[in-house]
Amino acid sequence: MSDFPITVYHNPDCGTSRNALAMIEAVGYAPVVIDYRTTGWTRPLLDELLAAMAATPRDLLRDKGTPAAELGLLDPSVPDAAILDAMVEHPILVNRPIVVTPRGTRLCRPSEAVLDLLDRRPEHFAKEDGEIVRP
């Protein structure tokens, strides 16, 4: 196990998630990659991640390409507990990627936000769309 462990809660169909993972791998890390769509979420894990990020369930709620609207979750009056229950039932409702390192836990949107969580950075990185990131 690495002395700088990294876990990426990843959706391989998401360009932002793929770019964040590629940035991590570009500097030599071999992160634990969890495809949360197939693994799913547990309430304790979501609670732990939210606490580490000082975030609310609504902060992680993804509406684009998810059933959030159909489930009525976009209404500001929906309580956090209901959002969390829906996230456990429908893992795609959680925005991505979430990256955990010894430097912290963060929703890495945009993907280059992952660089603040690493102790090594690439000199430059080309995203899938050709955009160059110079840390």
Instruction: Please identify every residue annotated as catalytic.
Output: 14
Q: How many residues does the chain have?
A: 135
- CA distances (Å), origin 23, targets 6, 33, 50, 95, 114: 12, 13, 23, 19, 8
Q: Which amino acid is at 101?
A: T
**DSSP character at residue 106:** E
**DSSP character at residue 54:** T
What token pair was written down for 17? 């998630």
What token pair was written down for 82? 């209901």
Residues 94 and 17: beta-carbon distance below 8 Å: no
Nearest C-alpha neighbor of 58 from the set 38, 50, 66, 111: 50
